[in-house]
Structures are given as structure tokens and as C-alpha cells.
Amino acid sequence: MSKLLEVKDLKVSFNTYNGEVHAVRGVTFDLNKGETLAIVGESGSGKSVTSNAIMRLLPEPHGFIKEGQILLEGVDLAKKSMKEMQKIRGKDISMVFQDPMSSLNPTMKIGNQIMEGLMKHQNMSKTEARKTALELLTLVGIPRPDVRINQYPHQFSGGMRQRVVVAIALACNPKILIADEPTTALDVTIQAQILELMKSIQQKTDSAIIFITHDLGVVANVADRVAVMYAGKIVEIGTVDDIFYNPKHPYTWGLIGSMPTLDSNDEELFAIPGSPPNMLTPPVGDAFAARNQFALEIDTVMEPPMFKVSDTHYAATWLLHPDAPKIEPPDAVKHRMQGFAQTGTKGGGKR
Amino acid sequence: MTRYILRRVWYMLLTLFIIATASFFLMKILPGSPLNAEDKLSEEQKEIILEKYGLNDPVPVQYAKYLGGLVQGDLGVSFKFDNTPVTQILVDRIGPSALLGFQALIVGSILGIFLGLMASIFRNSPIDFSSTIIAVIGTSIPSFVFAGLLQYVFAVKLGWFPVALWGTFEHTILPTIALAIHPLATAARFTRTEMVEVLHSNYIITARAKGVAESGIILKHGLRNALIPLITVLGPMAVGLMTGSMVIEQIFAIPGIGEQFVTSVMVNDYPTIMGTTLLFAFGFILIILIIDLLYGLIDPRIRLAGGSK
């Protein structure tokens, strides 16, 4: 597989009245053609900031890329001007947002909102664009597209609106589709439909997807690889099997342990104690140390490097150092892992 | 849609009836009579005049006569201006007022929206600060102070325009500017506030993510969504402007409705006062109806039931 996107040591900061907030502190990952990479982490871990930085949608100038490269097929997006980015957004990379209720322009017909990108990036005439828009509406599963194309967002339900948002994002056959918690604002049955839709479209168009979520159940469903983010860094990255069957980072253990399961009435729900650090003054050493029951002394002094677990699997925890004590994941987490093994992660995220 | 408009027209008539009644009885409560200033007339002569205009009739009879005339579109006859029908006076006078008001509204709202847009795009820049200063000055300084200032600088000192004259386009420039400053300030303030909010909304980010150019973001996606509250404030302001600003018309000696209204009040010319009041009210209600219809045009969410399907 060839590398489509390489993010190298990306650092993003926000200038606020209280000082510089280090939202993303050196993120490195690759994205291959046609694959789905999930970025998971709790609120404030920097996952949305990372995706906005790739799109260069940060509220510049007070939110800015401090360091690092975002190489799209070898070209650094971090150095592009806003004018150049306008030619890339929507064409090479596009985005599906969290809240379908507010991410469509309320005073514009949805047809026009879909056609806008087509006419800009593909120099289509109005009639051509309209024809393509109709095809897109059919592709995303909106019934009676010839009627719907002339309607306004308020005439659509939440799930239907998200389908429209997906259609807008797909309009120009982007190489990369970034989905920023696309199902968070939808109810569970609709969530499943939108996920199915994105998977089936990916098979048809072969675009790569960066899927941002805090819901591990969704991850198991859609992703090929998973990056776990904490306090502005990737703490563990690997294939879905690596992360679900062989997690190495205590934070990943915490995330897996805190997933509710259907048969979880007899077991405790595992909660990660404390709250994420203040990114105004990121802690020295391992940012997760304060919440980590397995923290070592070195965690408060030095940041752990990325340790290689396998060719596909890396994790940033001192527990992987040859000199570290051998620590097994907590029982609750092990129990979950066994549960995954029985049902198979790909079979359906256990929720 | 037709039913909606018919219902609105019915409400309109009802409102006009209430206003006509209120203004009629207010006239009766008002101290003095139209003959107050007529010292040369003897008591008998005054009595004859009062009798002629029906002012000696019992109040209910006068009221009934007045309403009866109103229904037939007859606003009565002016006591003061050579027995001219009030309708005629209003028709003669509305022209200059409407022209000035229209010019002021166009100039004020276009410049104001432009200024507000600039301020919202270049937020916290010198452009933004100067726009805010203009908005504060425009809303806080009364138009007559501004009018006096304009007369002094451009008419007295520079001599570019006449101080107060009516006839050609040139004569409309100073009063138009004086009238425009208030809508300009209001439009600038509202446009800025709304645009700042709209530009932070999610659909603007969606548009950016599509690769829409910044000009398209502001004009196509932003402005239309920011227009609704603007129309709400500018509409009623438009009535005030079109039906004449009493003070500005006095200052620039413009033969408009406002000037007429002030003169009529001074001399207790009841039918003219009531006619003008009704005209104001009518304009106001009409504009509000137009605004309500405009809302639907701009924002499909408030389009009337049955209009959108």
C-alpha cells in the first residue's frame, strides 16, 4: 500500500488570554490509500484539532501549526497559502462534521450546497453539477432525490441531513475523507446506517478515511487501524486487532475497560480516574502518569518514546521498556478482550 | 398564501380603526380649538365657523360622521388650508417625504451593511473600531444636531449646497445625509454583530471545508443568514423615514408630511392631524406586512405554511 498522507511531528497551539495552549504536541502517523484510520481519545485529546490542522481549518491566526509537516502525496499542506488550500479542500480532502443539524446552510437548497463544490473544483456547468448531485443523493440513499434536491435542510431529519453532508463531502471524489465524530449527534439506529453508508461508499470510491471518534464500539466496526490520542499525542497506534486484542498502553486499557457491554451487569464499569491535564502547561514526563495506576517513577521525569510492539503496532509507555516490570492489563479489561475474541471485533462493536 | 394576506389585510383594517378612534378622541381631549389664534373674529363669527365644520355637534355624532367619511376614503377638510381636502394635502406632501426617505434608506442601509461587513471581516482592526465609532455616533447624536452641522459646514462655510431649499436633486443631498446617518449606524451595528455570529457557525466551516472562496463565504453563505434581524430593525425605520422626519423637514424647509404634521398640530387642525396619523399607521402596518413576506423569501424556515410544498 502506498502512503497517501504522512503527518510528521505535527504541533498545533492556540494563543489564548491565559497563554499558549498546546493542543497537539507532536503527532506522527501515515494514512494509506483506501484504508480507514480511526483516531480515538476523550474530549480535549487533540483529535479534532489534528483533523482541522490537516484541513487547515484552524481559526488562524490564534490557532496555528507550530511545527511539523502534513504531506499529501509528498506536498506539504502546512506550507500552503489559504488560496491554495481552497483548491485542495473539498477536492483532495473533505470533511464530514459532527452535528448535521447545524452544518448545513439553512437558507440554501441542499442541491445548491452539493453543487457548489462540483462547480468550483470540477468546472462543471450547472446542469452537469445538478446531474451529479442527483447521483450523489441516490448514492447516499436519499429517496426521491429529484424532489429532495430542491428542498432546504430544515425539511430533512438528522440522519438524512448527515447523508447530505456525506454527499457534499464525497462530491469531488476526495482522496481523503475526514469524518469528525460523524455519528455522535445521531441516535443509535441512524448511527449504524451512516457507518454502513460510509463503509459501502469507501468500497465504491476507494478513498481513505480518517475517522475521529471517542466511541471504541464504532472503531471496531469501521477501522483498519487505530490511533489512540491522549493529551495531544498518539500514545498507541496499531491495527484494530493490535488495539483490541493486544493493547499495551494503560490508557488504551482504560478506554477498553470503560466500554459498556450488554452482559456487563455483573462486572464493574471501569472508569479512568481524574481528568485530562491542562494543556496550557502540559505535565513533564508521561502526560497520563497522574491517572495511571501502573505509573513508574520514570513517567514523571521523562516522556516515553514510541516502543515497537510489532511492525504495525507501536505504543508510548515505559511499561514496554525491557527493564520495566511485567504488568498485565486489569481483569476487567482482559474480560473485555476475551469478549472481543468470542464475537470477533469485525463482527460488530460490542456496545 | 392568499388567505394569509387576506387575514393580514383584515387585521390591518382593524388596527387602522383603533388608531382612527384613538386619535379622534385624543383630538377631543386636546385643550384649545382651531380658532384659538383667530383674535380678529367675533364670537358670532366663530360660532358660525364651528357650526359649519360640525364642531358644535355632540361628540358621538362627530365621531360617526368622521368614521362615515373614513369608510368612503374621505379624511375631511382642513380647517386651516383653504378648505383643501386632507387627502389632497397628504397626496401633495407625501412626494418629497417619500423621496427623501427612500434615498436615505438606500444610502443608509447599503453603506451601513457595507461598513458592518467590513467590520466583521476585519474584526478588531482599525476598520472595525472606526465602524463602531461611526455606529455609536450615528445612534447617539440626534439627527437635528447632525443636520445643523451639515448646514453649517457644507452650506454656510463651503457654500456647496443651499441651506434650506426644495426643488432639485441637489437640494435633497444634505437632508438625505442627515436622515441616512441613523439607519446607517443601525445597519452597521446589526450587520457586524450578526455576521460575527454567523461566520462562527458550523455551516460556514462546512462551506470552508468545501473549498468555497472567502468572498463566497461572506456574501453567499454569510450575509443572507445575517439579513433577518437587520430587516426587522430597518423595516419600521423605513416607515419613519418615508413618512417624513418632522424635525429634518423643518430644518431644511422641505414641504413634506412631517413639516405639515408639525404645523397642523400647532394650529389644532384636527382633520389634518388625524389624517396624517392614519397615514403613518397605514405605512407602518404595510411595511410590517412586507417584512413578514420578505422573511419567507430570505429564510425558507419561516416560509408560510402551504407556500413551500
CATH number of the domain to which A323 belongs: 3.40.50.300
Domain count across chain A: 2
How far apart, in whole angstroms, are the C-alpha atoms of residue A238 and residue A242? 5
Which pLDDT score is estimated for B152?
84
Residues A65 and A168 in one domain: no
Distance of residue A150 Cα from the nearest chain B Cα, in angstroms: 10
**Residue the block writes with cell 422626519:** B245
- With a CB cutoff of 8 Å and minimum separation 6, the contacts of B127 are B118, B119
A45 and A76 in one domain?
yes
End-to-end CA distance of chain B: 12
A83 and A132 fall within a common domain: no
Tell whether A238 and A319 lie within a shared domain: yes
Contact A90 B209 (CB under 8 A): yes
Cβ contact B246:A95 at 8 Å: no
**B147 lies in some domain:** yes
Of A89, A154, A155, the CB nearest to B210: A89
Residues A22 and A78 in one domain: yes
What local confidence, expressed as pLDDT, does residue A347 receive? Answer: 42
Q: What is the CATH number of the domain that holds B114?
A: 1.10.3720.10
Q: A89, A93, A96, A105: best mutation site toward chain B, by most B Cβ within 10 Å?
A: A105
Pairwise CB contact (< 8 Å): A154 & B213: no
Per-residue pLDDT reduced to its tens digit, B4-35 = 788 888 888 898 899 989 988 888 887 777 77
Do A37 and A129 lie in one domain? The reply is: no
ipTM of this model?
Answer: 0.84
In a domain, A128, yes or no: yes
Which pLDDT belongs to residue A350?
A: 38
CB proximity under 8 Å: B 123-162 to A: none
Mutate to test the interface with A, among B194, B206, B212 (most CBs of A within 10 A): B206
Which regions in chain A score pLDDT beneath 50?
345-351
Are A104 and B207 within 8 A, CB to CB?
A: no
Chain B closest CA to A97's CA: distance in Å?
A: 8
Cβ pair A107:B212 closer than 8 A: no
pLDDT at B307 over 50: no
Q: What is the DSSP letter of B155?
A: I
Average pLDDT over residues B157-181: 80
- Which residues of A have a CB under 8 Å from any CB of B? 55, 57, 82, 85-91, 94-95, 97, 99, 102-108, 116-117, 120-121, 152, 154-155, 165, 168-169, 171
Residue B237: which residues within 8 A CB-CB, separation 6 or more? B105, B182, B183, B186
Number of domains, chain B: 1
The per-residue pLDDT of chain B, averaged, comes to 83
Contact A55 B225 (CB under 8 A): no
Q: Examine the pLDDT at B255 and tell me if it is beyond 50.
A: yes
Query: Distance (Å) from the C-alpha of residue A77 to the closest C-alpha of chain B?
Result: 14
Neighbour-count burial for A166-192, b at 16+ CB within 10 Å, e otherwise: bbbbbbbebbbbbbbbbbebbeeebbb
CB–CB contact B208 A108 (8 Å): no
**How many CB atoms are closer than 10 A to CB A8?**
16
Residue B44 pLDDT grade (very low, low, confident, very high; cuts 50, 70, 90): confident
Residue A270 is predicted with a pLDDT of 73
The string of pLDDT tens digits covering residues A109-164 is: 999 999 999 999 998 999 999 999 999 999 888 999 999 999 999 999 988 999 89
**Domain extent for B132:** 90-258
Whole domain around residue A141: which residue ranges? 100-173
The grid coordinates of residue B287 equal 411595511
Q: What is the model's pLDDT at position A56?
A: 92
Locate the chain B residue with the closest alpha carbon to A51: B209
Question: Which is nearest to B117 in space by CA: B31, B37, B207, B191?
Answer: B191
A106–B205 CB contact, under 8 Å? no
Same domain, A332 and A216: yes
B213 vs A: CB within 8 A: yes
Contact at 8 Å (CB) between A213 and A181?
yes
Chain A positions touching B213 (Cβ under 8 A) are 86, 120
pLDDT of residue B296: 78
Residue B145 has pLDDT above 80, yes or no: yes
In a domain, A11, yes or no: yes
Q: Which of A80, A83, A86 to mutate to test the interface with B (most CBs of B within 10 A)?
A: A86
Q: What per-residue confidence (pLDDT) applies to A237?
A: 94
In a domain, A330, yes or no: yes
